[in-house]
C-alpha cells in the first residue's frame, strides 16, 4: 500500500503525524510519501518505507539520484517546522477550527463542497471556463485560490481549491465566504446540481481567450 500524504503531514492526527495517526493505524502504510511544500512550507518531498525500499530508491529513483539535494537553509527551516509541529499544537488546533467554520459556511451558502478532511476546501465549478472566470473575479475581490482542471481532475470536474491556514482570522474567512456567495449568486450556481452548474458553465466564454491547449471542451 502506497499513500501520498501531501495534505496530511503536519495537519492530520492528534500530533500532526498524518493519515496513519488520523485513522489510528500506525505502521499500516508500506510506502508513505509526502511533500515538504504544504504544511511544512518549503520544497522537496520524502518517501518512508522498508530499509530495502529506501536503499533501492537511493540508487534508482532518478528524481533523487540525478538532482541537486535540498539546500542546507531549506533543511534547517524544515527541522524548525518539524519542531513547531511537535511543540506548538495550537497552530493545528486553530487551523482545524478554521476548517470547521469555513467548509460548512460554504455548503450553507449553496456551494458543492465535499466533507472536509484536510485544509483544502474544494468548491465544484464543473467547466474550466466557469472556474477561471469565477476565480478571476474572486481574485479581483482580493481572494486568491487554486484552480484545478483537467488533467488534474476529469474534464467537467473543475474545482476551486481554497486553502486555509492557521493565521486566517474569522474576519478573513467571513469576507471570503461573503465574496464567494456574492459571486455564486451572480453566476446562478448556488444550490444547484453538478449537471446544472455544468450547463451554466457551458455558456461561459473566457474573457481573455486563454483556453488551455486541449481547447474549450472541459
Gap between the Cα atoms of 28 and 17, Å rounded: 13
Report in angstroms how near the CB of residue 6 gets to ligand PLP at its nearest.
3
At residue 175, what are phi and psi to the nearest 5 degrees?
A: -60, -40
Q: Quick check: helix, strand or coil at residue 207?
A: coil
CB-nearer residue toward ligand PLP: 120 or 189: 120
Looking at 3-11, 64-72, 130-138, 167-175, which segment touches ligand PLP (CB under 6 A)?
3-11
Q: Which letter, b or e, does each residue of 13-33 get, where b requires 16 or more Cβ atoms within 10 Å of its Cβ?
A: beebbbbbebeeeeeebeebb
Among residues 65, 71, 66, 1, the alpha carbon closest in space to that of 36 is found at 71
- Is 6 near ligand PLP (CB under 6 A)? yes
Report in angstroms how near the CB of residue 10 gets to ligand PLP at its nearest.
13
34-73 binders of ligand PLP (CB under 6 A): 35, 37, 45
Looking at 2-10, 56-64, 189-197, 210-218, which segment touches ligand PLP (CB under 6 A)?
2-10
Q: Are 36 and 71 in contact (CB under 8 A)?
A: no
Report in angstroms how near the CB of residue 94 gets to ligand PLP at its nearest.
22
Contacting positions for ligand PLP (CB under 6 A): 4, 6-7, 35, 37, 45
Amino acid at each position: 500500500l502506497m499513500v501520498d500524504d501531501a495534505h496530511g503531514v503536519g495537519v492530520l492526527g492528534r500530533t500532526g503525524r498524518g493519515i496513519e495517526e488520523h485513522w489510528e493505524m500506525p505502521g499500516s502504510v508500506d510506502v508513505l510519501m509526502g511533500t515538504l511544500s504544504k504544511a511544512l512550507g518549503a520544497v522537496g518531498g520524502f518517501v518512508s518505507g522498508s530499509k530495502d525500499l529506501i536503499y533501492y530508491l537511493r540508487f534508482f529513483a532518478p528524481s533523487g539520484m540525478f538532482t541537486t539535494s535540498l539546500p542546507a537553509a531549506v533543511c534547517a527551516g524544515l527541522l524548525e517546522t518539524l519542531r513547531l509541529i511537535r511543540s506548538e499544537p495550537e497552530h493545528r488546533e486553530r487551523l482545524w477550527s478554521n476548517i470547521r467554520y469555513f467548509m460548512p459556511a460554504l455548503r450553507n451558502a449553496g456551494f458543492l463542497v465535499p466533507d472536509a478532511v484536510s485544509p483544502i476546501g474544494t468548491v465544484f465549478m464543473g467547466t474550466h471556463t466557469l472556474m477561471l472566470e469565477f476565480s478571476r473575479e474572486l481574485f479581483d475581490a482580493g481572494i486568491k485560490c487554486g484552480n484545478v482542471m483537467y488533467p488534474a481532475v476529469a474534464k467537467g470536474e473543475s474545482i476551486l481549491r481554497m486553502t486555509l491556514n492557521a493565521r486566517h482570522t474569522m474576519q478573513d474567512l467571513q469576507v471570503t465566504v461573503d465574496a464567494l456567495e456574492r459571486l455564486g449568486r451572480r453566476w446562478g450556481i448556488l444550490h444547484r446540481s453538478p449537471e446544472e452548474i455544468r450547463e451554466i458553465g457551458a455558456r461561459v466564454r473566457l474573457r481573455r481567450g486563454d483556453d488551455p491547449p486541449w481547447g474549450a471542451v472541459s
